[in-house]
C-alpha cells in the first residue's frame, strides 16, 4: 500500500480539522495579538464563552428589535479602560481581519453599533462604557467629555458646576456622546445654539493607524468630518472638547394636549403651528407629538392627539405674553407651565416625575421604549402641510393601535438657519420649518408582527412624500434608516446633501482601505465608483 497518500476519509478529516482551526484562528490570534501589546489586556475581553457576555451585550441594546436569537452577535466584546487599549484593538483587528463596531450609548436605530445585517460577518464590539470621564471648566465655558459618557452624565457634570451653563445636545439621558455627536445631535437648545456637533471645539480620535490625534494633528478636514459625518467611519472618537452655552437659571416648560375632536381643534392648531414655529424668538423650542389615543368620551374608539411640548429660556412671566401674541391659537395657560433649571428640563422631556432628583440623569438603565421594538424614519418640512394633508396623516395613525405609531415634529429656524449648510457635515439648515420623525413601536414578537408595523411605517413615509423635502428627500443621520437606499450616493445625499462628496474625499484620505465601516458608513472612492 502506498502510505505516502492519505486515504479519502483521512483527507476529509484533515480538511474538517483545518477548517475548525481556521475558523478559531481570528479569535485566538486576535487575543494573542492583544496580549503581545499588553499582557493584562485580555481581562477586558468578553468572549461568547464568558458568563457576562450576553448581559454585557444586552445592557446597551436600546432597541429590543435587535435583541433576538436571530440577531448576528459579535465574536467578542472589548471594553477598553485606556486609550492604548483602543490602539491595540485597532492594530490587532486589522491584522486579523476582524471588523470593529464601536459602541458608546448603543442607541443606533438599526443596531449597527453591536450588530450587522450580514450574518456571516466576523466582528467585535468595542464598547466605550469605561471611558466616560468628564471635566468641566467653568471659566473657559468648555468641557472635555469622553465618548462613552451619556448625555445625562454630561448634563449632570455641568449642572454640578453651574446652573447657568448647558450643552445643546439631545433630550434622552442614556444617549452616548460617541454616536450622538458623530451624527449631529439636536435638542431643546437647537434654535438658540445649533446642534451638538456645531459646538465641538476639539476632539481626541484614534485613527486607522492607531495614532492618537487631536484637532491640530488631525487637520481641519478630518475635524470637519467627525462633527456629523456619521460614526464608525473616520476613526474612534475617544473624547470631545465641548463649548458650553449660557442658559438662564430658570427655564419654563409646558405640555398642552389637544385632540382632533370635541372642539379641541388639534388639526387647525397643528396647521397654524407650522406658520409660526420657525419664526418664534430663538429662546423657544417647540415640539409636537402626533398619535392616536383612546377616545376619552367614546368607548372602543380612538381619536388623534397633538401634544405640544415646549422649552422657553426664561420664566413663565415672559412666556405667556409671548405665546399670547405669537400663537394665541394654542390658548396656553399658566397651569400648563412649570419652571425649573435647564438640567432638570431633560428629565421633564424624558417623562420623569417633576420631583425626580437630578441624579436620575446618571441612570444608565432607563429605557425609552421598555420592551417595545421600534423603527424610526425622518423628514424635513419646508412648506406648511395643508389641512387635508394632516387629515390623511390622521387616517394613517388610525390604522395602527393606540400609541404604536406617531410623528414627532421638532421646530427649526433661529440659529439653525444662520449656520451654513457646509459648516459641518450636518446640512439641514435654512429653509426648514421643522424636522419630522415617523416612528412605529410594537411589543409583539416575531417577523410577521414586525413586518406589519414596518409596512405601516413605510406606508406613512410614502404618504408624506408630497409634503416633505425633495431632491434629495433629506433625512437625519442619527435617525439611521436602512430603507433609504443601499447605494451610498442615495442615503449619503439624504443625510449629508452636498457635503457627501467632501466626506468621501476625507474618508479616502484617512481610511482608504475602508477599515472603519458599517452598512451606512461613508465609503472611500475606491469602494463605490
List residues binding ligand FDA (CB under 6 A).
Answer: 62, 101-109, 112-113, 128, 147, 170-172, 175-176, 178-180, 182-187, 231-232, 236-237, 368, 478, 518
Whether the ω angle into residue 41 lies within 30 degrees of 0, i.e. cis, is no
What's the gap between Cα 460 and its chain centre?
A: 21
In the complex, minimum distance from the CB of residue 193 to ligand FDA, in angstroms, rounded to a whole number: 14
Q: Give the count of beta carbons closer than 10 Å to the beta carbon of residue 467.
A: 19
Q: Which three cell numbers stand for residue 403?
A: 400609541
Q: How is 423-449 classified by DSSP, letter by letter?
A: SSS----TT-SEEEEEEEEE---SHHH
In the complex, minimum distance from the CB of residue 104 to ligand FDA, in angstroms, rounded to a whole number: 3
Task: Indicate which residue of 186, 312, 476, 479 is catalytic.
Answer: 479
Q: Give the count of beta carbons closer than 10 Å to the beta carbon of residue 179.
A: 26
In the complex, minimum distance from the CB of residue 483 to ligand FDA, in angstroms, rounded to a whole number: 16
Given the complex with ligand FDA, which of 272 and 364 has the nearer CB atom?
Answer: 364
CA distance 316 to 337: 7
In the complex, minimum distance from the CB of residue 289 to ligand FDA, in angstroms, rounded to a whole number: 13
CA distance 504 to 473: 20
- Nearest Cα neighbor of 362 from 159, 504, 136, 110 is 159
N-terminal to C-terminal alpha carbon distance within the chain:
57
Q: Contact, 215 vs 183, CB < 8 A? A: no
Q: How do 76-78 and 123-127 pair as beta strands?
A: parallel
Torsion sign, CA atoms 200, 202, 208, 212: negative
In the complex, minimum distance from the CB of residue 43 to ligand FDA, in angstroms, rounded to a whole number: 22
In the complex, minimum distance from the CB of residue 350 to ligand FDA, in angstroms, rounded to a whole number: 9
Given the complex with ligand FDA, which of 367 and 455 has the nearer CB atom?
Answer: 367
Annotated catalytic residue 479: yes
Which residue blocks in 173-255 are alpha helix, DSSP H? 177-182, 190-193, 215-226
Given the complex with ligand FDA, which of 106 and 260 has the nearer CB atom?
Answer: 106
Given the complex with ligand FDA, which of 267 and 520 has the nearer CB atom?
Answer: 520
Give the total residue count for the chain.
529
- Across 443-507, the runs of DSSP E, i.e. the strands, are none
Q: Contact, 89 vs 30, CB < 8 A? A: no
Q: Which residues pair with 102 in a beta bridge?
A: 126
Going by the DSSP 8-state scheme, the letter that residue 160 receives in this structure is H
Given the complex with ligand FDA, which of 199 and 265 has the nearer CB atom?
Answer: 199
Given the complex with ligand FDA, which of 87 and 108 has the nearer CB atom?
Answer: 108
In the complex, minimum distance from the CB of residue 461 to ligand FDA, in angstroms, rounded to a whole number: 18
Given the complex with ligand FDA, which of 175 and 270 has the nearer CB atom?
Answer: 175
**Catalytic machinery residues:** 479
Amino acid at each position: 500500500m502506498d502510505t505516502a497518500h492519505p486515504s479519502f476519509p483521512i483527507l476529509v478529516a484533515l480538511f474538517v480539522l483545518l477548517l475548525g482551526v481556521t475558523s478559531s484562528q481570528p479569535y485566538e490570534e486576535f487575543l494573542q495579538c492583544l496580549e503581545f501589546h499588553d499582557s493584562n489586556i485580555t481581562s477586558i475581553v468578553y468572549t461568547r464563552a464568558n458568563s457576562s457576555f450576553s448581559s454585557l451585550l444586552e445592557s446597551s441594546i436600546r432597541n429590543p428589535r435587535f435583541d433576538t436569537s436571530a440577531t448576528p452577535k459579535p465574536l467578542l466584546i472589548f471594553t477598553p479602560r485606556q486609550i492604548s487599549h483602543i490602539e491595540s484593538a485597532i492594530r490587532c483587528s486589522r491584522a486579523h481581519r476582524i471588523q470593529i463596531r464601536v459602541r458608546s450609548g448603543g442607541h443606533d436605530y438599526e443596531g449597527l453599533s453591536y450588530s450587522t445585517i450580514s450574518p456571516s460577518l466576523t466582528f467585535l464590539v468595542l464598547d466605550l462604557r469605561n471611558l466616560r470621564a468628564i471635566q468641566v471648566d467653568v471659566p473657559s465655558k468648555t468641557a472635555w467629555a469622553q465618548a462613552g459618557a451619556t448625555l445625562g452624565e454630561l448634563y449632570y457634570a455641568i449642572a454640578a458646576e453651574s446652573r447657568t451653563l448647558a450643552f445643546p445636545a439631545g433630550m434622552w439621558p442614556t444617549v452616548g456622546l460617541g454616536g450622538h455627536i458623530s451624527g449631529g445631535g439636536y435638542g431643546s437648545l437647537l434654535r438658540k445654539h445649533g446642534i451638538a456637533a456645531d459646538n465641538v471645539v476639539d476632539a481626541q480620535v484614534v485613527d486607522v493607524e492607531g495614532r492618537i490625534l487631536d484637532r491640530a494633528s488631525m487637520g481641519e478636514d478630518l475635524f470637519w468630518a467627525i462633527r456629523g459625518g456619521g460614526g464608525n467611519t473616520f476613526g474612534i472618537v475617544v473624547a470631545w472638547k465641548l463649548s458650553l452655552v449660557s442658559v438662564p437659571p430658570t427655564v419654563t416648560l409646558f405640555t398642552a394636549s389637544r385632540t382632533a375632536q370635541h372642539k379641541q381643534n388639534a388639526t387647525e392648531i397643528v396647521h397654524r403651528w407650522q406658520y409660526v414655529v420657525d419664526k418664534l424668538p430663538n429662546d423657544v423650542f417647540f415640539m409636537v407629538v402626533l398619535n392616536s389615543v383612546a377616545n376619552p368620551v367614546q368607548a372602543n374608539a380612538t381619536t388623534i392627539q397633538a401634544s405640544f411640548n415646549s422649552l422657553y429660556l426664561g420664566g413663565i412671566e415672559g412666556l405667556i405674553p409671548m405665546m399670547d401674541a405669537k400663537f394665541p391659537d394654542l390658548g396656553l395657560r399658566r397651569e400648563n407651565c412649570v419652571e425649573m433649571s435647564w438640567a432638570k428640563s431633560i428629565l421633564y422631556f424624558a417623562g420623569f416625575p417633576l420631583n425626580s432628583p437630578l441624579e436620575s440623569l446618571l441612570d444608565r438603565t432607563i429605557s425609552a421604549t421598555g420592551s417595545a421594538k421600534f423603527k424610526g424614519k425622518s423628514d424635513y418640512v419646508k412648506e406648511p402641510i395643508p389641512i387635508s394633508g394632516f387629515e390623511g396623516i390622521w387616517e394613517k395613525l388610525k390604522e395602527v393601535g393606540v400609541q404604536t405609531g406617531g410623528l414627532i415634529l421638532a421646530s427649526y429656524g433661529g440659529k439653525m438657519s444662520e449656520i451654513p449648510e457646509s459648516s459641518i457635515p450636518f446640512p439641514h439648515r435654512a429653509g426648514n420649518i421643522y424636522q419630522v420623525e415617523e416612528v412605529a413601536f410594537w411589543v409583539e414578537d416575531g417577523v410577521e408582527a414586525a413586518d406589519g408595523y414596518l409596512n405601516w411605517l413605510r406606508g406613512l413615509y410614502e404618504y408624506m412624500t408630497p409634503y416633505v423635502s425633495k431632491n434629495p428627500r433629506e433625512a437625519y443621520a442619527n435617525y439611521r434608516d436602512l430603507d433609504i437606499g443601499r447605494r451610498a450616493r442615495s442615503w449619503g445625499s439624504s443625510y449629508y446633501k452636498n457635503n457627501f462628496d467632501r466626506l468621501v474625499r476625507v474618508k479616502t484620505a484617512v481610511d482608504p482601505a475602508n477599515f472603519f465601516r458599517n452598512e451606512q458608513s461613508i465609503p472611500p472612492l475606491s469602494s463605490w465608483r
